[in-house]
Amino acid sequence: MIVVDANILAFYVIKGKRTVDANALRDKDAEWILPAFWCVEFQSILWKYVRFDGMAASKALELLDQAMAMFAPNGVTPRPDMVLRDALAWKITAYDAQYVSLANHLGVRCVTEDGPVQKACPTVAISLDNFLGRATAGGMVHETGPSYRTRTKHKRL
């Protein structure tokens, strides 16, 4: 059992260059637990792909349905006081603490590509490559932005 963040889930559901790695993760540990909050973050990821990367809205809705079918039963709501305490102690956002705090409470690892979270919570948070046994220089993989950030600039209102 592992806790995965929304970006790892996106690698798994949205076909791209990290899908192979997400499939390998699923092969290594198929029991993925997520905080109930995952769906909101995943919707935001899909929205960005539609808005900035040209994904069809119908495709985004299809992917959301697939993710909900696969992962909604694995959603767990961590205690809000526990999440806030952990966020304050680790000096991370409450959003990130949803994942890491849940993993810590369950006594499992949180697989994330968020470098600052890995650094703040090294005993709980681990990169996808490190979990798969592919350690990188420095032992940490830093999250890279998805393609929608590099293709289109949007105007500030």
Q: What is the pLDDT of residues 67-79, one digit of tens each?
A: 999 999 999 999 9
Query: pLDDT above 70 covers what percent of the chain?
Result: 85
Fold of 2-150: Rossmann fold (3.40.50)
Task: Give the integer Cα–Cα distance in Å for 75 and 71.
Answer: 7
32 strand-pairing partners: 2
Q: What is the pLDDT of residues 114-140, one digit of tens each?
A: 999 999 999 999 999 999 998 654 444
Beta carbons within 8 Å of 146's beta carbon, 6+ residues apart = 10, 45, 48, 49, 53
Where along the chain do its domains lie? 2-150
Plot region of 76 (φ>0 → left; ψ -120 to 50 → alpha; else → beta): beta
